[in-house]
Amino acid sequence: MADNDARSALIAAATPLFAAKGFNGVSVREVAAAAGVNLSMISYYFGGKEKLYAAVLTEQFAPLQRVAEIQLMDTDPLMKFELYVRATVARYRKNPYLLRFYTSELTNPTPCFDTIVKPAIKGVVQILIETLRDGLSHEKFRDDLDPTDTALALAGMINFYFLLEPATGELVDHAPERDEELIRHIMDIFTTGVLR
């Protein structure tokens, strides 16, 4: 197995294991067996379980950095929020383990929380706050809105929708085919609360 193949296999095997069991619930033997590699490869490529976990989190949270691209676009603040909603829905469809890492790190943080998870989340929230401030300064949104509370409410609405998916399957169809409808509903709820 080539170097990159073994490293990639370890990350691919570790991701669902860490997502399901958390950092402390997974052994290096279990990861090595799932990846089909020698146990020593974890130390060779990552220097141990902690750095393997950090590599998994880095990969999982990397798509959040793309939210900065939305902020740089020359478009209306409300369109930026719609693009954020679309990107978030797409992110959860492409990274089904991401929410498990969110909840695990928020409720039982590892040392990776301060270096990987918190900066990623904080960066997204700061971009949403800046977008709200831009909309407020151009009188697009209600002037009595608190940008931080509003940004957290929007992020929370989307994240909680996907977080509740296992418990609400009988109540709502969570199929990807409904994503456009979901995006429209989120934007309707959001804009009803923020527009002048």
- 195 φ, ψ to 5°? -75, 155
What would be the CATH architecture of the domain defined by 3-47?
Orthogonal Bundle (1.10)
Q: What pLDDT is attached to residue 103?
A: 93
Q: What pLDDT is attached to residue 196?
A: 61
**What string of DSSP letters covers 71-113?**
HHSSS-HHHHHHHHHHHHHHHHHH-TTHHHHHHHHHHS--THI
Q: 89 with 183: CB under 8 angstroms?
A: yes
Q: Which CATH number fits domain 60-194: 1.10.357.10, 3.30.70.1520, 1.10.10.10, 3.40.50.11900?
A: 1.10.357.10
Structure tokens at 51: 């750095």
**Nearest by Cα to 129 from 67, 74, 177, 178:** 67
Q: What pLDDT is attached to residue 33?
A: 97
For residues 102 and 10, give the distance between their C-alpha atoms in angstroms, rounded to a whole number.
21
Q: What pLDDT is attached to residue 194?
A: 64
Q: Which residues of the chain have pLDDT under 50?
A: none
pTM assigned to the model: 0.89
Q: What pLDDT is attached to residue 3?
A: 58
Secondary structure of residue 169 in the 3-state scheme: coil
Domain boundaries along the sequence of the chain? 3-47, 60-194
Dump pLDDT digits (tens) for 47-77. 999 999 999 999 999 999 999 999 899 999 9
Q: What pLDDT is attached to residue 193?
A: 72
